[in-house]
């Protein structure tokens, strides 16, 4: 039995569906059953639980041989503040898995996590990585780059397509690596279904390093429209400090955009990974082509 915590998210869902399609027994710990209807239909066992409820984690781990931790609450607040979910909750999941004699724990960290990262979320990821390595269980740590679905489309190109402009914080010139969720999920599947990645920490990125400005321009050329508006880091820091008392998650998202480029490098070279696991990775170009084609289709349908 493979337990997935975070199966209603982008990476968790893609991984769960691939495992189910291969015939694996999958249990998904979800907060709301309604968000897992497709997973249940595909054959997953639904377990209602929460990373902030340690007892639910103990029960969910019972009988599981492998655990995939792919939830996060970077944008959370209050009960779901990142520290509660990403640190306390994941520590509790790790303890529950160890107590339930889980054989292999696959943890989703993030590329660039380090002990002295300026953002607490990245420090949490680094600390949980260390706890996973010393847990005594078999383990694999995945360190994906920024997901294209989020960082290329939702936070940049989608606004440009739908509103005719996009907003970029700071100069927007830092080269960043982006990876498609569909290119990360197969590594999670290998880690969960085979023993090949035991003891490994894998950085997983895409083939391209591009700036936010370049991404916006790629959408604008295809859509034949689009303005790029820049907001200064100074103004963003003021907004973040006003937001922090009411919504620490949103403030954190703005804080990330304000980290100086040299303190949070995001470029990455895919050659080593591709040497070991040859495969075709989704290019940002192809990804944007697909998003723009979907946008055109939706416009045609809406105008009928
Ligand atoms: N997005 C990126 O660009 C990116 C880049 C690198 C690494 N990662 C890492 O990759 C993993 C997957 O990210 P993603 O973007 O696929 O996630 P996502 O789509 O944002 O989904 C987050 C998942 O976490 C679950 N979750 C949040 N709080 C929870 C709680 N208290 N108890 C149980 N489940 C909870 C959510 O459940 P609900 O459906 O109930 O909300 C959802 O299934 C995360 O570990 C993330 O840090 C992401």
Which domains does the chain show, CATH number per domain? Answer: 2-144 (3.40.50.720)
**pLDDT at position 243, please?**
97
Please give the torsion angle defined by the CA atoms of residues 32, 34, 39 and 45, in that order, rounded to the nearest 10 degrees.
60
Per-residue pLDDT reduced to its tens digit, 149-186: 999 999 999 999 999 999 999 999 999 999 999 999 99
**pLDDT at position 266, please?**
98
DSSP label at 263? G
Task: Tell me, in angstroms, the distance from the centre of ligand 1 to residue 233's CA.
Answer: 27
pLDDT of residue 225 exceeding 90: no
Task: Tell me, in angstroms, the distance from the centre of ligand 1 to residue 73's CA.
Answer: 6
Ligand 1 atom index nearest CA of 35:
39
Per-residue pLDDT reduced to its tens digit, 268-301: 999 999 999 999 999 999 999 999 999 999 999 9
Q: Which residue's alpha carbon is nearest to atom 26 within ligand 1?
A: 71
Residue 33 pLDDT class (50, 70, 90 cuts): very high
Phi, psi of 64 (to 5 degrees): -85, 135
Ligand 1 pocket, residues with Cβ under 6 angstroms: 6, 8-12, 30-32, 35, 50-52, 70-73, 80, 85, 89, 108, 110, 144, 146-147, 150-151
**pLDDT at position 267, please?**
98
**pLDDT at position 304, please?**
86
**pLDDT at position 164, please?**
94
**pLDDT at position 195, please?**
86
Distance separating alpha carbons of residues 220 and 295, to the nearest angstrom: 13
Sign of the four-CA dihedral 127, 130, 134, 140: positive
Distance separating alpha carbons of residues 295 and 242, to the nearest angstrom: 35
One-character DSSP codes across 233-249: HHHHHHHHHHHTTT-HH
């Amino acid at each position: 039995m493979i337990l997935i915590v975070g199966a209603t998210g982008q990476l968790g869902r893609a991984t769960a569906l691939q495992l189910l399609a291969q015939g694996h027994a999958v249990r998904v710990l979800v907060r709301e059953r309604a968000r897992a209807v497709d997973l249940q239909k595909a054959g997953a066992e639904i377990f209602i639980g929460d990373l902030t409820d340690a007892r639910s984690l103990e029960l969910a781990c019972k009988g599981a041989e492998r655990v995939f931790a792919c939830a996060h609450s970077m944008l959370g607040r209050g009960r779901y503040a990142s520290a509660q979910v990403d640190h306390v909750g994941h520590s509790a999941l790790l303890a529950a898995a160890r107590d339930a004699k889980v054989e292999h724990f696959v943890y989703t960290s993030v590329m660039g996590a380090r002990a002295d990262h300026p953002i607490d979320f990245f420090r949490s990821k680094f600390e949980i990585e260390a706890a996973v390595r010393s847990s005594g269980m078999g383990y694999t740590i995945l360190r994906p780059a920024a997901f294209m679905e989020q960082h290329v489309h939702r936070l940049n190109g989608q606004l440009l397509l739908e509103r005719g402009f996009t907003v970029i914080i700071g100069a927007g010139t830092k080269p960043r690596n982006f990876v498609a969720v569909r290119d990360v999920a197969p590594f999670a599947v290998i880690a969960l279904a085979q023993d090949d990645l035991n003891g490994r920490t894998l950085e997983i990125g895409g083939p391209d390093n591009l700036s936010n400005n370049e991404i916006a321009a790629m959408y604008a050329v295809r859509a034949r429209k689009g303005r790029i508006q820049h907001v200064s880091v100074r103004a963003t820091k003021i907004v973040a400090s006003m937001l922090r008392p009411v919504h620490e998650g949103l403030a954190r998202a703005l804080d990330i955009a304000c980290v100086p480029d040299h303190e949070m490098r995001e470029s990455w070279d895919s050659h080593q990974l591709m040497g070991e696991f040859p495969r075709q990775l989704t290019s940002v170009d192809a990804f944007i082509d697909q998003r723009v084609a979907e946008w055109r289709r939706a416009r045609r349908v809406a105008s009928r």
